[in-house]
Amino acid sequence: MTGIASIESRRAAEDDRFLKDESKMGGGYADTVFFPENEAEISAVLKWCAEKKLKATVAGGGTGITGAAVPFGGVVISMEKFNNIIGLGFKNGRFFLKVQAAVTLSKIAETLRMKETSKFKELTENALRSFEDSPDTWCYPVDPTEMSAQIGGTAATNASGAATYRFGPTRNWIKSLVVTLPDGNVQKIERGKCFADASGEFDFAGKRFKRCAYEMPDCKNAAGLYSKQGMDIIDLFIGSEGILGVISELEIWLEKKTPSLSVVQFFPSDSDAFSFVKKLKKSALSPDFIEFIGESGLDLIDSRIKSGCMTLDIPEFRENQRSAVFFDISMDKNAAGSLEKEASGLIEHPEDSWCAWENSETERIKAFRHAVPESVNATIAEIRKNYPKVHKLGTDFAVADDKFDELAAFYRETLKKSGLKHAVFGHIGNNHLHINMLPADYDELEKAKEIYALMAKKALELKGTVSAEHGIGKLKHKYLEMMFGEEGINEMRRVKKVFDPDMLLNNGNMFQ
């Protein structure tokens, strides 16, 4: 067995990088940070923690916004030495990449863009030849915005982003995982090999246990341990926020990159934009994503531009351009003619469209799309000069297609009644809007918290989720309990204890 003393470590107090994440949740502390470089070393750290009853928190890229990577005692296991792209394979007509967990999304994107195959250690000869000889390029299509996130972190959180509309979340792109369980046992988990039987039982890694006795909501979701009739064991680990094991290696599917046309379509009101989205979803255009900036979001950008707080290289909004829908359409050259016909039938006011094909122009549109979250953060920073404890409240709720209108109407009425400053934007293709409330002082902060809870209740009444992409971490326990009830949380705790009887690994994520 690898001795714990031979594993590189540092006192956690020497590097506060490991005591926080992008949630800015305070109070994190730990004794030691370990830097294992292979599974034997991860296993040794976990066995040592189990023996000493010490908590262990896994540190990925630290880009999470729910405090999931913030430790409260014990040790931190930094994944940073697992940073190699190992190889490339080809199966059933698809390429896949074999990567270590700490490889960032930006490194994956750059490696694929440049076809840097000389760095791969493991290669299937045929795969390499077709990859290098092909005039096409490939990409990993899951795009959770923050490219410094590690691929292991994105698997642990089942991250998703705008392109989830067409490609689905991280879960859909994982072929296999290598996971070290809390007892130190290392498992390669290949999709398609181990399923829950008819009574919901798994036979996995020498353990027999039942899946959680609930089903996941029928919408985009990142809340709670995954559970579904006949589910694959790999899906229990994906999105488990690291509470069941440490992911060290992954095989991820790739997708052919096709050039795309970016479109921004403006509308006089949010309800006009919503009607258009319904038509777009039913059309043959099959966009990669459908994103939205509502009236409140465009107003916020407009006021920041007019007051000189922000510059943005975009056309000036006209009177009737109050709400915007963004979508990208992959353009297969052969299909360009029929797509153009479909688009012209769909878009009633081409004078309110802004389309881009070339790189610099698509970058302008991207900057516009990201201008709302940036404006929200800048506005809150201003407010905090007088009220340091004020923060934004941003929802992450989603529902199924047939429930969206009711949720959107509830958002609109509730926000109007509250009088709170807000900005609405997000992944409308997945019925997943981020309602950002911007409290001006402490009274408004309390009011915003109440409204957030009311909106969560409404999303749940409509059989949706309290977190479609960011997860629960340490900040949203209350909402996970609203969603699954005490019974559901007990089910998650039961499954956690199958692997981790003393609840040491990533303690405090999802539940206590």
Q: Is 42 in the site for ligand FAD (CB under 6 A)?
A: no
Q: Which residues contact 141 (CB under 8 A, 6 or more apart)?
A: 163, 166, 167, 173, 255
Using CB under 6 A, pick the residue from 78, 154, 262, 296 that binds ligand FAD.
154
Pairing of the two strands 85-91 and 122-123 = parallel
What's the CA gap between 245 and 80, in Å, rounded? 16
SS3 179: strand
Q: Is 65 in the site for ligand FAD (CB under 6 A)?
A: yes
Using CB under 6 A, pick the residue from 2, 10, 22, 475 that binds ligand FAD.
22
Using CB under 6 A, pick the residue from 19, 28, 32, 60 that binds ligand FAD.
60
Q: Is 19 in the site for ligand FAD (CB under 6 A)?
A: no
Q: Is 142 in the site for ligand FAD (CB under 6 A)?
A: no
Using CB under 6 A, pick the residue from 30, 46, 112, 247 that binds ligand FAD.
247
Task: Tell me how far, at minimum, the Cβ of 220 lies from ligand FAD, in Å.
Answer: 10
How many other C-beta atoms lie within 10 A of the C-beta of residue 352?
16
Q: Is 235 in the site for ligand FAD (CB under 6 A)?
A: no
- Find out whether 253 and 175 touch, Cβ atoms under 8 Å: yes
Using CB under 6 A, pick the residue from 28, 224, 242, 429 that binds ligand FAD.
242
Q: Is 265 in the site for ligand FAD (CB under 6 A)?
A: no
How many residues lie near ligand FAD (CB under 6 A)?
36
Task: Tell me how far, at minimum, the Cβ of 402 lies from ligand FAD, in Å.
Answer: 24
- CA torsion angle 435 441 443 449 (round to 10): 30
Strands (E), 254-322: 255-256, 260-267, 289-293
Q: Is 182 in the site for ligand FAD (CB under 6 A)?
A: no
Position 365: which residue type?
I
Q: Is 429 in the site for ligand FAD (CB under 6 A)?
A: no
Which of these segments, 60-68, 313-321, 333-341, 404-412, binds ligand FAD (CB under 6 A)?
Answer: 60-68
What's the CA gap between 240 and 375, in Å, rounded? 32
Q: At what angle do helices 404-418 and 270-282 cross, to 10 degrees?
A: 160
Task: Tell me how far, at minimum, the Cβ of 63 lies from ligand FAD, in Å.
Answer: 3
Question: Residue 241 or residue 444: which is nearer to ligand FAD going by CB?
Answer: 241
- Return the structure tokens found at 324: 């915007």
What's the CA gap between 219 and 469, in Å, rounded? 11
Task: Tell me how far, at minimum, the Cβ of 334 lies from ligand FAD, in Å.
Answer: 32
Q: Is 141 in the site for ligand FAD (CB under 6 A)?
A: no
Question: Residue 343 or residue 495: which is nearer to ligand FAD going by CB?
Answer: 495
Q: Is 70 in the site for ligand FAD (CB under 6 A)?
A: no
Q: Is 21 in the site for ligand FAD (CB under 6 A)?
A: yes
Task: Tell me how far, at minimum, the Cβ of 340 lies from ligand FAD, in Å.
Answer: 30
Task: Tell me how far, at minimum, the Cβ of 333 lies from ligand FAD, in Å.
Answer: 30
Q: Which residues contact 386 (CB under 8 A, 6 or more apart)?
A: 441
Strands (E), 12-157: 32-34, 56-59, 75-78, 85-91, 94-100, 122-123, 138-139
**H or E element, residue 322:** none
Q: Is 37 in the site for ligand FAD (CB under 6 A)?
A: no
SS3 98: strand
Which of these segments, 24-32, 56-64, 292-300, 358-366, binds ligand FAD (CB under 6 A)?
Answer: 56-64
Contact positions with ligand FAD (CB under 6 A) in 96-115: 101
- Find out whether 49 and 56 touch, Cβ atoms under 8 Å: yes
216 torsion bin: left (phi>0), alpha (psi -120 to 50), beta (else):
beta
Task: Tell me how far, at minimum, the Cβ of 297 lies from ligand FAD, in Å.
Answer: 16
Residues in touch with ligand FAD (CB under 6 A):
21-22, 57-65, 68-69, 79, 101, 144-146, 149-150, 152-154, 156-157, 159-161, 241-242, 246-247, 469-470, 506, 509
